[in-house]
Amino acid sequence: MRRLKLVRNIGLGIENLLLHKLRTFLTMLGVVFGVGSVVAMLSVGEGASKEALEQIRKVGSNNIIISSIKSVQEVSQATIHSHMSIYGLTYEDQFRISETFGHVKQVVPVKLVRKDARLGERNLELRIVGTTPAWFELLRRPVVAGRVLRAEDARDLAGVVVLTDFGARKLLAAENTIGQAVRIGGNFYEIIGIVKSEGGMAGSIQMPDEEIDAYIPIEVAKERYGDIILRITAGSNERELVELHKMVIEVDHIDNVESTAKGIEAMLKRFHKKDDYRISVPLALLQQAKATKRTFNIVLGSIAAISLLVGGIGIMNIMLASVTERTREIGIRRAIGAKRRQIISQFLIETVVLSTVGGFVGIGLGLFIPWLITKFAGMPTVVTADSVFLSVGISISVGIVFGLYPAVRAANVDPIIALRHE
Amino acid sequence: MINQADKNEDLVIRLEDVHKIYQMGDQQVNALAGVSTTFSAGGFCAIMGPSGSGKSTMLNLLGCLDRATRGRYILEGTDVSTLDDDALSELRLRHLGFIFQSFNLIPQLTVQRNIELPLYYLGWDSESSAERAVELADKVGLAERLNHRPTELSGGQMQRVAIARALANDPRILLADEPTGNLDTATGEQILQLLAELNEQGKTIIMVTHEPDIAMLARTRLHMRDGLIETIEED
Ligand SMILES: Nc1ncnc2c1ncn2[C@@H]1O[C@H](COP(=O)(O)OP(=O)(O)OP(=O)(O)O)[C@@H](O)[C@H]1O
Ligand SMILES: [Mg+2]
């Protein structure tokens, strides 16, 4: 019975709003844009953080990645005359890290060499990644065909290689090419498996793997390529001695990642005279991503809130005008026996209907804008159910908050004066 | 609702030394300066008097639209002077019907919806309200105009709608402030005829009017001057 009455009152409110279609439409626009911007902005924030999380998941949130880098000083010296640059991570570092830190589960060493590969008619420059089987454990890339490296491969110094799906495609190596030989540099390798690659750079995070990777046992890399790389550039041939190009360190628990990274940094600082390494902690990026999302939400949320506020004030303004315009009607209703609260609910229902309908249209807009952003700006966006519910809640609240004052004003009109009102 | 405690069934309304004082800046206007009178059930009373004598003020008071500054107002055994706003609204809704000089219909509502208005506040469902509206429109001779807007009607027709609306809640008392004031003589007479009929059917009618001709149709005439009742004439 009461519910039926509410439905009827809402119907009457809608009828009244439809008497002034243009005015109602214009008043509603404020809420439409307000709610639309709330949904759209939250979706941008959500999209950004989801993408960051996705990237971090690919790197592994329990991992710490250390890369060797050539210091600036080294670079300038090298260009002057033929010179041997010695820099980067060492076997010693690997040993120390795995021995010193209790929370380090394993350290995966990586040696990198760039070589041309040849399979049949096809050529491709590959990045040879000399590493241990644990690499595949840490990065969890799906195996497309064959198998990944095994301990026996290292023990036997087997000339085996795991290609990425990208590399395999480029070299026209199909699944049935497992077991086939590929020539990389001057050596032949048997293709034992193909894994999926997430590729070099994803957003702000440098992935440890690249599309053109070819994984071989690190012992084989050491034996076949040594530690010294000769680079022939215009005018000078430059030699570099780098023992390890990367280390991927797995920490036992996510809570220990930060402290372990700090410990490693302190230790490397002690043993390296030059600043020739870079530590990257995906987890820190995760936290940064979360902080960014929060800032994003606060800033964008405030802008959206302001536009909602403006929308609300618009509603209030129109409702106040409407109360004045309908003073006589209010007087008539009161004379007939309407109670104050019935007048309040009449006006309040109108504003809430207005703002709620505006809210729903706004949600439509809030779904459309992110779609446009993703389509044309390529930015990831995610509209969550939460943000939609939030918007419905907000728009109803806007109606109540900004409708209450005009409604109370209406109810407090003196019926006698109202009846004389022209 | 019949009040059993009220022994004098004939007395619907009793005013005891009622004052209504308006404060205009530092000036006081005594719109009612101590009125004491009674109106009996089933009566037809015309309130007369020069402009500014307090007729409308008294009618608004009787209609529970306003409150006396001082004095007591007993309506069907209830002391109205002590009631709060909601209770006064309730009284208007259930026991009183208003007819105004300027009709006071809601322009955006159809004739039917205007007539149904009191029923809406009484909580009637739409079917019974519609039924009653049709019945009342028929009674005031406007059965064909139910879906018209007030602006499409003549003054006389608008006043008929107003009367139908005033009757919707089946009130014991009808209050009319110059119901013929905006109508030509012939139409005014028809409206008055309608009121006289309603009075015969048992409604207590209190009507403010300037015109002696109109007042002659009432059974009691109450003359006011300067916020006081001067004389009461009865047929
Ligand atoms: N809201 C008000 N504020 C101040 N004074 C008022 C108010 N309403 C009425 N008055 C004064 O009270 C007195 C009585 O007014 P009222 O409207 O009752 O007169 P009336 O007899 O109905 O006159 P008329 O025949 O012109 O309608 C007048 O002097 C009027 O100026
Ligand atoms: Mg008057």
Pairwise CA distance, residues B132 & B139, whole Å? 10
Q: Are residues A192 and A328 in the same domain?
A: no
All domains of chain B, ordered by start, with CATH?
39-59+84-234 (3.40.50.300)
What average pLDDT is seen over chain B? 91
3-class secondary structure, B138:
helix
Q: Is A2 helix (H, G, I), strand (E, B) or coil?
A: helix
Q: Which atom of ligand 1 is nearest to the CA of B55?
A: 21
Per-residue pLDDT band for B3 (boundaries 50, 70, 90) equals: very low
Chain segment A235-280, per-residue pLDDT in tens: 667 778 888 999 999 999 888 888 999 999 999 999 888 888 888 8
Tell me which residue in A329, A340, A419 faces B100 most closely, judged by beta carbons: A419
Are A47 and A74 in a shared domain? no
Reduced to 3 states (helix: H, G, I; strand: E, B; else coil), residue B20 is strand
Query: Are residues A102 and A234 located together in one domain of the fold?
Result: yes
For the Cβ of B22 lying below 6 angstroms from any atom of ligand 1, the answer is yes
What pLDDT is stored for residue B177 in this prediction?
94
B63: nearest CA partner in chain A: A335
Amino acid at A180: Q
Residue with tokens 């998941």: A57
* B9 φ, ψ (degrees, to nearest 5): -60, -30
Give yes or no for residue B173 CB within 6 A of ligand 1: no
> Which alpha helices (H) appear in A173-225, and where do they start and end?
218-225
Distance from CA of B235 to the nearest CA of A (A): 31
The ipTM is: 0.93
Burial tier of A386 (Cβ tally within 10 Å: 0-12, 13-18, 19+): exposed
Average pLDDT over residues A336-359: 94
Longest Cα–Cα distance in chain B: 53
Q: How far from chain centre, in Å, is Cα A336?
A: 61
Which residue among A231, A250, A275 closes a domain? A275
Residue A233 included in any domain: yes
- Using a CB–CB cutoff of 8 Å, tell me whether B33 touches chain A: no
User: What's the CA gap between A193 and A178, in Å, rounded?
Assistant: 6
| pLDDT at res. B5 | 43
Q: Tell me which chain B residue has its CA closest to the CA of residue A327.
A: B106
Residue % of chain A over a pLDDT of 70:
91
Per-residue pLDDT tens digits for A355-382: 999 999 999 999 999 999 999 988 888 8
Ligand at minimal distance from the CA of B62 is 1
Residue nearest (by alpha carbon) to ligand 1 atom 11: B31
Pick the residue with more confidence: A238 or B204? Answer: B204
Does B117 contact A335 at a Cβ distance shorter than 8 Å? Answer: no
CA B56 to ligand 1 centroid distance, Å? 7
Question: Do the Cβ atoms of A34 and A398 come closer than 8 Å?
Answer: yes
The answer on A372 and A348 residing in a single domain is yes
Q: pLDDT band at residue B2, thresholds of 50, 70 and 90?
A: very low
- Of the candidates A130, A134, A128, A127, the residue with the CA atom closest to the CA atom of residue A63: A134
Q: Which residues pair with B207 in a beta bridge?
A: B46, B176
What would the mean pLDDT of B192-199 be, rounded to a whole number? 93
Q: B169 pLDDT exceeds 90?
A: yes
Report which bound ligand comes closest to the CA of B53: 1
**Contact with chain A for residue B66, Cβ under 8 A:** yes
- Flag if B90 and A340 touch (Cβ within 8 Å): no
CA B158 to chain centroid:
16
Shared domain check, A240 and A365: no
CB B95 within 8 A of CB B173: yes
pLDDT of B4 strictly over 70: no
Kindly report whether the global pTM for this prediction surpasses the value 0.90.
Answer: no
- Does one domain contain both A186 and A310? no
What is the torsion angle, in degrees rounded to the nearest 10, for the CA atoms of residue A398, residue A400, residue A406 and residue A407?
160
Q: Single out the residue of A33, A31, A39, A35 nearest to residue A355, CA to CA.
A: A31
Res B192: pLDDT:
92
- Rounded Cα gap, residues A2 and B120, in angstroms: 13
CA distances, A134 to each of A67, A137, A148 (Å)? 17, 5, 10
Residue A396, domain member (yes or no): yes
> A16 lies in a domain?
yes
Last residue of a domain, one of A229, A247, A275: A275
Is the residue at A62 inside a domain?
no
The predicted pLDDT at position A201 comes to: 54
Same domain, A52 and A98: no
Q: How deeply is B94 buried, as exposed, middle or buried, from its count of CB atoms within 10 A (0-12, 13-18, 19+)?
A: middle
Q: How many domains does chain A have?
A: 2
Percentage, residues of chain A above pLDDT 90: 32
Q: How confident is the model at residue B179 (pLDDT cuts 50, 70, 90)?
A: very high
Please name the member of A329, A415, A419 whose beta carbon is closest to the beta carbon of B106. A329
Q: Do A337 and B118 touch (CB under 8 A)?
A: yes
Contacts of B90 in chain A (CB under 8 A): 337, 339
- What ranges make up the beta strands (E) of A242-313? 246-251, 277-280
Which ligand has the minimum distance to the alpha carbon of residue B27?
Answer: 1
CA of A413 vs chain B CAs: smallest distance (Å): 12
Interchain pair A337, B126: CB under 8 A = no
- Inform me whether the C-beta atom of residue B106 falls under 8 Å from chain A C-beta atoms: yes
Are A294 and A414 in the same domain?
yes
Q: Which two tokens stand for residue A173?
A: 């190596």
Same domain, A8 and A150: no
Question: Is the CB of B123 inside 8 Å of chain A's CB atoms?
Answer: yes
Residues A123 and A172 in one domain: yes
Tell whether A244 is covered by a domain.
yes
Percent of chain B whose pLDDT exceeds 70: 95
DSSP H/E element including A352: helix A340-372
Binding site membership of B57 for ligand 1 (Cβ less than 6 Å):
yes
In this complex, which of B60, B86, B117 lies closest to A336 when CB atoms are compared?
A: B117
Q: pLDDT tens for residues B209-221?
A: 988 988 988 999 9
- pLDDT higher than threshold 50 for residue A420: yes
Domain stops at, among A275, A303, A327: A275
User: How far is A371 from A315, CA to CA, in rounded Å?
Assistant: 29
Higher pLDDT pick, A276 / B44: B44
Query: Quick one: A351 and A257 in the same domain?
Result: no
Based on the fold, state whether residues A224 and A296 are members of the same structural domain: no
CB B65 within 8 A of CB B83: no
List, in sequence order, the alpha helices (H) in A20-90: 21-59, 72-80
**Would A282 be classed as within a structural domain?**
no
Residue A96 structural domain: 70-275
Residue A359 resides in a domain: yes
A205-206 and A201-202 beta bridge pairing? antiparallel
Q: Which of B22, B61, B100 best tests ligand 1's pocket when mutated (most atoms within 8 Å of CB)?
A: B22
Alpha helices in A63-119 (DSSP H): 72-80, 91-100
Comparing C-alpha atoms, which of A303, A155, A172 is closest to residue A219?
A: A155
Q: Which atom of ligand 1 is closest in space to residue B50's alpha carbon?
A: 25
* Residue A186: inside a domain: yes
